[in-house]
Structure 1
Amino acid sequence: MGILRAAWVPDDDPEREWQVAADLAVSWVEQEARAQDAAAVLVLNAFGAEQHVPVLRSFAQRHSVTTPRAGRDRVGSGIGPVLAYVPDARTLDFATGLARNSSLAVVESVGLLPLGGWAAHLTALDLTRPGGESPALDDRLAEALDRLKFYGNNAYGPSFDRQQATRVLSDLHSAGLLDREVVISARAARGVSPAGLDRLRQLISGVKIR
């Protein structure tokens, strides 16, 4: 079983302060923790980031905190809802593993990892628009992403897998559906490794994009 529920705070408003974005995510994750009677976890790219955002600093005092480098051991067993704060690809992959069978909220930083495709794939709740789920992916794009997942099981390493993935990407381009960041972040939602995402970026760069 994967993630039961997902939510995000999109990085789409330059006037929105990081404290406000973090507060929206914290409120949702703590609600999920109470509903599941489980402990929450804060996942960061690096320790110390929480010290710059008061609501995260307070959250960290009540819950476990870890990073991909520190690993899962810091949070023990019985992990519940996870809050990933401005994750890069490696951190999102790690947070997704921790949130399996529970809930995941993400505060996006488009400078690190745009997450529009991730949110669409998981129909994540947009916490800046209460009650509004993110628009679902186009059916043709969703089908293509399933094919990309099949060929990406080995991080698009074998030449055959790269060739087939390139064919899928070319078809998406022809259909006007090849948005680099949507494809990358949607694949991140399906558990592709950071190395696989890097190679997928390279493959996309080889396809003429409108």
Structure 2
Amino acid sequence: MIAADLAVEWIRQECADQGACGLLVLNAFGVEQQIPSLGRFAAEHAVTTPGAARDRVAPGVGPVLAYAPVEKTLDFATDLARGSSLAIVESVHGFSLEGWARQLGAIDLTRPDEHPEPIAPALVKAIDRLDFYKDNGFGDQFGKQQARRILQDLYDAGLLERNVILGALAAKEASSRALRNLSKLIDELDPS
């Protein structure tokens, strides 16, 4: 709840600074009623989900707060935040934002004086190569083959960091489909 409170406070300040209305992005409607600060924010600003009508909100209208997003919701929230600000409250049981934060240099509002550790250069190179092959969401034979080769090299080198890879690719605008498919490929190599 502390993270949600801090994110709401930060987004409210961003709204004031930008003279814009905020937007709360959820996986499903109703979640905001379980956390008082989100409920108050929802009463004052727009609320949407990836499943809601696309004409409900427009990209780049104002600061976006995404609460406990899964891959699809993160992709949606990132698109809506273009040209504005984005705060995300991570769920301990959901999509890990470690790689996303490290890729973008995002600040953890619960520890604002700490900065994310940079991604190891060898892993950055592999992530860039995966990014190059992501166009078909790793759903075609060629994309899967290239991803498997890159992931196998990472596994052999002891660098197969699932959360960092998936999060960094999310930061590089990989689709939720690409992230799901890549996650399955990682699981084939390292089911732990």
- Give TM-score scaled by structure 2 length: 0.92
Whether 1:139 and 2:121 are equivalent positions in the alignment is yes
Q: Which moved more, 1:46-55 or 1:77-86?
A: 77-86
Equivalent position to 2:134, from 143, 149, 152: 152
Aligned to 1:69: 51
Equivalent position to 1:57, from 35, 39, 60: 39
Instruction: Name structure 2 gaps, 5 residues minimum.
Output: none
Give the whole-Å Cα distance in 2 for the aligned partners of 1:32 and 1:140. 36
Helix, strand or coil for the counterpart of 1:80?
A: coil
Once the two structures are superposed, the pairs formed by residues 27-106 of structure 1 within 5 Å of their partners are: 27-76=9-58, 78-106=60-88
- The offset of 1:78, in angstroms, is 4.8
Give the whole-Å Cα distance in 1 for the aligned partners of 2:42 and 2:164. 31
Instruction: Name structure 1 gaps, 5 residues minimum.
Output: 1-17
Q: Greater share of strand residues, 1 or 2?
A: 1
Cα-to-partner distance string for 1:103-132 (whole Å, 9 max, x where unaligned): 111111131211111111111101111233
Distance 1:177 1:96, change over 3 A: same
CA RMSD across the alignment? 1.7
Identity of aligned pairs, percent? 53
Once the two structures are superposed, the pairs formed by residues 5-16 of structure 1 within 5 Å of their partners are: none
Give the whole-Å Cα distance in 2 for the aligned partners of 1:75 and 1:134. 31
Give the whole-Å Cα distance in 1 for the aligned partners of 2:84 and 2:36. 25
Distance 1:168 1:209, change over 3 A: farther
Give the whole-Å Cα distance in 1 for the aligned partners of 2:165 and 2:59. 33
Helix, strand or coil for the counterpart of 2:62?
A: strand
Equivalent position to 2:161, from 166, 179, 190: 179
Aligned to 2:107: 125
- The offset of 1:143, in angstroms, is 1.7
Higher relative contact order (CA 8 A, sep 6+): 1
Given that 1:38 and 1:79 are in contact with CA atoms closer than 8 Å, whether structure 2 keeps it comes out as yes
- The offset of 1:84, in angstroms, is 0.3
Letter in 1 for 2:125: E
Given that 1:115 and 1:185 are in contact with CA atoms closer than 8 Å, whether structure 2 keeps it comes out as yes
Equivalent position to 1:199, from 168, 176, 181: 181
Give the whole-Å Cα distance in 2 for the aligned partners of 1:77 and 1:178. 34
